[in-house]
Structure 1
């Protein structure tokens, strides 16, 4: 059989406060991150979205645009999912790893609203990086897309979260950013939820006093682990361009 490839148009791009891969939730809907999909012409025609607000959730097909594109010579049959501690291997097709031959992601998100004046689709709960190319949008159909008896393999439940401590010093800096309109109170809550997911690589999730930095919008948030179940935000600074 010949090696067949397919080409898909990019219909738009995600605009998200998540500016780097580190810190992105490992699955959609773990954190209510607000994002916007900006559609390119001619896909931004408002008529293409007639009826979309009758649905509460949408499927987004998108591209892992910052990954090395796999080919037959570099295909990795197995990966180490973080959920299994980053050591145990499973087949790539038994995972939702970003490192896969098609380089395509699939996420279900909540629909906030569609703005016909701008052609923008506002969504909540995405796990997509700012600038992610979008390939398609489809409505989520509860009776067929939600299977109550489904077996979720090695991930039967949502991952446990850690406690996040924000010092008075950091709260003061957050308030400064709110005053400057760089962040909102809602952003602070989202940042706390993102860090509670513990975005560190599985092999780094140990008590070793190492500091990690997660970018959200135009700020860098520095945090470290202070005990087995606690992460502490110790600083927040404006990103230097």
Structure 2
């Protein structure tokens, strides 16, 4: 099988660092799916606006050239315990494919074809999308499902210094706070409380430090 992208998403996340590790954890995070020229047909999305959420089958394009590994170390386990790749959502997969459930905020029909406006995304800007499928609540909402080692939502931390975000619109401010509350630092960087990080988000470089379980925004710079 040979597959080609049906489109690409533009999102508020300018790099892999800072992207929520699962969809829906940052509800304000936005994205726009714009279709490839051969799929810019209004008929292809007829009826889609009746659904609140869609599945995106996408490609981990930033790590695809690094191959796959039979075991990985998920951040939820502190980055120091190995599990099987098929028991994870790691990017280092045999076919480099991901699956994301995102909110469908609206379907816009434009001169350049349909555009899907999305919410709660966990995808970096420019991610290729290979398919779109509507979410079916009656079949795919499973209240008694088990979540293994990731049973509960990740803990969140307090975010201060939000006055630094005044240069951003309201939704972008919410994106930054929601994303930083998840502590995006890699496990290896959590032993350096004095270290300042920068993350490309909502068209800005947002600088922050995390110390004593509190994230402090230290500045917002132009990119």
- Normalising by the smaller structure, the TM-score range is over 0.9
**Does residue 38 of the first structure (1) align with residue 29 of the second (2)?**
no
**Structure 2 residues not aligned, in runs of 5+:** none
TM-score, reference length from structure 1: 0.87
Cα distance in 2 for residues equivalent to 1:161 and 1:197: 5
**Does residue 214 of the first structure (1) align with residue 199 of the second (2)?**
yes
TM-score, reference length from structure 2: 0.94
Aligned length: 220
Match of 2:59 in 1: 63
Which deviates more, 82-91 or 189-198? 189-198
Match of 1:98 in 2: 91
1:205 CA drift (Å): 2.4
1:207 CA drift (Å): 5.4
Match of 1:18 in 2: 13
Question: Which secondary structure state, in structure 2, belongs to the residue aligned with residue 154 of structure 1?
Answer: helix
Match of 2:76 in 1: 83
Question: Which secondary structure state, in structure 2, belongs to the residue aligned with residue 224 of structure 1?
Answer: strand
Match of 2:101 in 1: 108
Cα distance in 2 for residues equivalent to 1:14 and 1:217: 14
Cα distance in 1 for residues equivalent to 2:201 and 2:173: 10
Match of 2:165 in 1: 174
Match of 1:135 in 2: 130
Alignment map for 1:154-193 (pairs within 5 Å): 154-166=149-161, 171=163, 173-175=164-166, 177=167, 183-193=168-178
